[in-house]
Structure 1
Amino acid sequence: MHELLSIGIELSIGLFALLLLTKVMGRESLSESTPFDFISMIVVGDFVSDAIYDPETHIFKVIFAILFWGMLIYIIDLITLKVHQSRSFFESQPALVINKGQIDRNILKKNRVDMNHLQMLLRDRGIFSFREIEYAVLEPNGKVSVIRKSEYEQTQRKDLNLSTPTLSFPVTLISDGIILKKNLQAVRKTEPWLLDELKKHAIDDPKHIMIAEWRDEDGLFIQKKSSS
């Protein structure tokens, strides 16, 4: 009886410690897990299991380990928020696996994804044929985001005898105040051109931009950072 009571107390304390850790990690960890979140869950789960099943592991040592781990995660989140260059190290990057209807085998190999796995991911999105896809992006959480070809949109234009417009992939030019020079080159634009476009929107400094996105069909989309 005493042993069962001890396990119950340890589980209760562990639960509250994990809830506190979840608050520190933020809402992102409650959605689709990234590789970093997956590692965090494994480590924290090991801490809690040690507290329950290992009589030599004191519960307060485990609480300290969980809270210290949470502090490390919080610090890493701050670093990735403040230092843009660090994101490529701590976070996985999205990969364009289908570009203008063409599957990029090199990108698939780089991300260790074979065709069967890619087809499974697409079927999960309700897409059963590659002919329907214009662009597909492998996200850090392992899922695929897709832009369909115009004629295969849910309201199919070919059924209404409408003309089929061209599609281009949206390219992020500014992210969290940082100009992405490689993306500028990809759309054949220059930094002076971008700064001129910002001035047309009464913006003098790119640091005031949360996101700036270019698409051939409708040009530049800009969203400023909130003043708060």
Structure 2
Amino acid sequence: MNEGLVVFVRAIIAFFSLLIFAKILGKQQISQLTFFDYVLGITIGSIAATLTTDLSSRAWPHFIGLFTWAFLGYLMEHITLKWRYAAKYIEGEPTIVIMNGKIMEKALKKMKYTAADIMGLLRIKSVFDISQVDFAIIEPNGQLSVLKKPEYENLTPKDMSILKAPSGISTELIYDGILIHENLRQLNKTEKWIMEQLKMYEVKDISEVFLATLTPSGSLYIDKYNDHMMKITDIGDYKGPY
């Protein structure tokens, strides 16, 4: 009973300590964390967990360790803001991996990336043909920034001096074969209307549809369970067990 009470009190101390330190250190989105930030967060969390459950030792050494790591994290954050040279080594710097359409093999080797890694990151950026890429840069947080060649850049309405109405956010009408009546009512649509639209896609029953969405501008998207795909393209770089 006494041990449970000690764990409870330590957990409260650790929880609010982490809350305070997180406020002091500032917040970043997970996708923006550098490797150093990631390791720092894990270490501070591990110390807080040990502070909570390790009853074989007193709490204050763990708390000092927690405070020291948080203070050093804050100090490094302050140094990187004030001193760019320190930020270069602590947080890293962007690295060009494709320049003028050519892959920088030495840069890839230095960063321990493979061509397959770059191809995967390009696909995340909706680039499926590497020949369209002019520059590609690995950011300190591991994300890839891509600049396409001018001839592959998308024209925008602004480029063509066209005023374009906003399309709005798509709303789910059918999800996993189930019609969402509430969303239909919000868009002032009826079940009869959606069935007429489905007929145009050769869909006889709602249960055949995996997903159907509609934007305020009237753009309808329908995905059927059976898409009649004869062959799925294999984008893997080697033959594997799957």
Instruction: Say yes or no: TM over 0.5.
Output: yes
Match of 1:13 in 2: 13
Query: Could you say if the C-alpha distance between residues 30 and 128 of structure 1 is closer, same or farther in structure 2, counting changes exceeding 3 Å?
Result: closer
> Aligned with 1:141: secondary structure?
coil
Match of 2:122 in 1: 122
Q: What letter is aligned with 2:50? A: D
Do the aligned residues in 2 keep the contact of 1:29 with 1:37 (CA within 8 Å)?
no
Query: Could you say if the C-alpha distance between residues 115 and 31 of structure 1 is closer, same or farther in structure 2, counting changes exceeding 3 Å?
Result: closer
Distance 2:40 2:147 in 1: 32
Match of 2:93 in 1: 93
Q: What letter is aligned with 2:132? A: E
> Aligned with 1:97: secondary structure?
strand
Q: How many residue pairs are counted as aligned between the two chains? A: 158
Of 12-21 and 138-147, deviating more is: 12-21
More helix by share: 1
Do the aligned residues in 1 keep the contact of 2:95 with 2:137 (CA within 8 Å)?
yes
Match of 2:140 in 1: 140
Query: Which consecutive residues of structure 1, in runs of 5 or more, have no partner in the other structure?
Result: 161-228
Match of 2:155 in 1: 155
> Aligned with 1:96: secondary structure?
strand
Do the aligned residues in 2 keep the contact of 1:150 with 1:156 (CA within 8 Å)?
no
Alignment of 1:135-214 (within 5 A): 135-155=135-155
% of aligned pairs identical? 30
Per the normalisation by structure 2, the TM-score is: 0.58
Query: Which consecutive residues of structure 2, in runs of 5 or more, have no partner in the other structure?
Result: 161-242
Do the aligned residues in 2 keep the contact of 1:80 with 1:86 (CA within 8 Å)?
yes
Per the normalisation by structure 1, the TM-score is: 0.61
Do the aligned residues in 2 keep the contact of 1:79 with 1:86 (CA within 8 Å)?
yes
RMSD, matched Cα: 2.4
> Aligned with 1:85: secondary structure?
helix
Measured against aligned partners, the alpha-carbon deviations of 1:35-68 in whole angstroms (never above 9, x if no partner) come to 1102202211220221233212333332322222
